[in-house]
Amino acid sequence: MDIKQNILFVFPGQGSQYVGMGQDLCQEYATARKIYEQASEVLGYDIADLCFKGPEDQLNLTRHTQPALLTHSIACLQVFRELTDDRLQPAMAAGHSLGEYSALVAAKSLSFEGALRLVQKRGELMGAHGEGEMTAFPLDVDTVRPIAERYHCAVAGCNLPEQTVIGGRPEDLARVEEAVAEAFPRKRAVRLKTEGAFHTYYMVTAAQHYRTVLDDADFDRPGLQVLSNFTGGFHEADPASIRARLFFQLFHPVLWHANLQTALAEGVAAIFEFGGGIGPGEPDAKRPNLEGMIKKGMRGSGHEAAYYAVINQQTLESAAAATAAD
């Protein structure tokens, strides 16, 4: 691959964790083992043991999920850089919700250790002060929003023009799901496994506590453009602005489709997704979390870019070989 091409690195968020995550990388690569060892030192517990062995209910706790996914994403990224001699230099980075922190690490705005401390506290606060659940609907935001608000629910994410996530109390979400099923019988809602109604007003208290954590964290000016879930556009380079947007991100919708369209408008030639995985089976059977949304977004925009997953040993080595051959 021509290193002058416009490259975007992307990182998934919660929902892409699974027991066994990262084990294949650590068995094969010393670089991955070092990343997990660093993470365990910062976090104060054995993150590798939790990721590799579970139990699943502990891994799915927000306070554990967020540092686990950050660690896996950065391990995938660092081993990929090693295998490709770091010749593929991105122009942009983006992450979905939690993934925005991995993107800031990739951009050298946050150190890996600094990002771990932030997401550890972020996860603790979201779990402790939040409430509610989330549901994804295959409908546009303008259709879903008035139904959601009728039952005190709020938009939590705009992933695609026809995929909107809302959050609220379980009983309120059930009323929204019932109303949508009645109005749109062919549209199937999916209740998500989360500890709270993330990116809605239910996270305001968590965000208020998190603000002081952000204020104390060390940020540098990013070395490449990083997309903001809160605005849908690029972060300003000023660290104070990045802190503010991460604060607002906690209780405002994730504008992922807007992020993708902003990147595509810059003429992205290749997209690499690092970390996480969805679907049944062992690590080598997992599928990338963001791939479907990325490819649908590209089809909708009419812009084409090469896509590579780097989420386990198999896809890592395949992507490294493919880019070496391009």
Catalytic machinery residues: 97, 199
Largest CA distance in the chain: 55
The Cα 261–Cα 257 span in angstroms is 6
- Buried b / exposed e over 70-94, threshold 16 CB at 10 Å, is bbbbbbbbbbbbebbeeebebbbbb
DSSP conformational letter for 272 = E
The Cα 288–Cα 291 span in angstroms is 6
Structure tokens belonging to residue 222: 């990013």
Secondary structure E strands in the chain: 7-11, 92-95, 133-137, 154-160, 163-168, 190-192, 225-226, 270-274, 306-310
Query: By the 8 A CB rule, do 97 and 13 touch?
Result: yes
Structure tokens belonging to residue 267: 């003429």
Report the SS3 class of residue 186.
coil
Q: What share of the chain is helix, strand, coil (3-state, %, to 5)?
A: 50, 15, 35
Distance of CA 59 to the CA centre of its chain: 16
- Buried b / exposed e over 47-61, threshold 16 CB at 10 Å, is bbebbbeeeeeebbe
Query: By the 8 A CB rule, do 145 and 155 touch?
Result: yes
Return the closest-CA partner of residue 289 out of 306, 310, 268: 310
Q: Identity (one letter) of the amino acid at 263? A: A
Strands of the 133-137 sheet, one edge to the other: 154-160, 163-168, 133-137, 190-192
